A = this chain, B = another copy of it.
Amino acid sequence: MLSPAYLAVAAALLLALGPALPAFAGRPIIAGKPAPSEAAATARWLTAQNTWGFLSTISSDLSGAPFGNVVSYSDGVPGESHGIPYFYLTTLDPTARDALEDQRTSFTLSEFPLGTCGKIDPENPTCAKLTLTGKLKLVDLQSSEADLAKSALFTKHPEMKDWPKNHHFQILKLEIENIFLIDWFGGPKPISPTEYLEYGKNQALLKLS
């Protein structure tokens, strides 16, 4: 595994070598963000740090076209990130309606709104992007998981607990089947859902959120 110090030197070297190498190659290593070689850690960091992202569903209103929507989420109370994104959605909105008809969903996050990409373009591969693909499922409101999810959501999104009761908000979660992470040059990093979900189980995750 490459150390952050090695990568910093490599990045500086790539920059110094100039135009013969990809012009992408100038991003310094960011304090707090896991090193690019640490794919599962980077994916979990993106999920823990962000509070909103984009859900893509198969649109029932638009004859099966893909439909992206802006959503808030939480994968744990602050300081206790578990990696599973929970959502608070109403079927007044098409995303929840779509998922109840066809559960296939992807959830996408960008590092850019965290501010750590600086002046690097949001599409530059060193400004990390994560897409979790799987099935969007209802969480039984009577379950202990729903209590945990509510606590995770309402601590990061305090206004949610006061959202109108007659909108019938429900808790949904993404059951992750595939992970697509871009955090450096060279294409997506292979991460299995198990590797992602197990990351940090034996260590404090406080540093992530």
Contact = CB atoms under 8 A, between A and B. Distances in A.
Interface of A: 19, 22-24, 51-52, 54-59, 62, 64-72, 88, 92, 94, 104-108, 110, 112-113, 120-124, 129, 131, 133, 157, 159-160, 162-164, 167, 178, 180, 187
A123 B71 contact: yes
A133 B65 CA distance: 8
A20 B105 CA distance: 35
Please tell me how many copies of the chain the complex holds: 2
26 contacts: A23-B162, A23-B163, A23-B164, A24-B159, A24-B163, A52-B112, A52-B123, A54-B56, A56-B56, A56-B66, A62-B133, A64-B104, A65-B106, A65-B133, A66-B67, A66-B104, A68-B68, A68-B106, A68-B131, A69-B131, A70-B108, A70-B110, A72-B121, A88-B123, A121-B160, A123-B160
Given A106-B65, A106-B67, A123-B52, A112 B113 contact: yes
**Which of A56, A62, A105 has the most C-beta atoms of chain B within 10 angstroms of its own C-beta?**
A56
B66 A58 contact: yes
A121 B65 contact: no
A70 B123 contact: yes
A66 B57 contact: yes
A127 B163 CA distance: 14
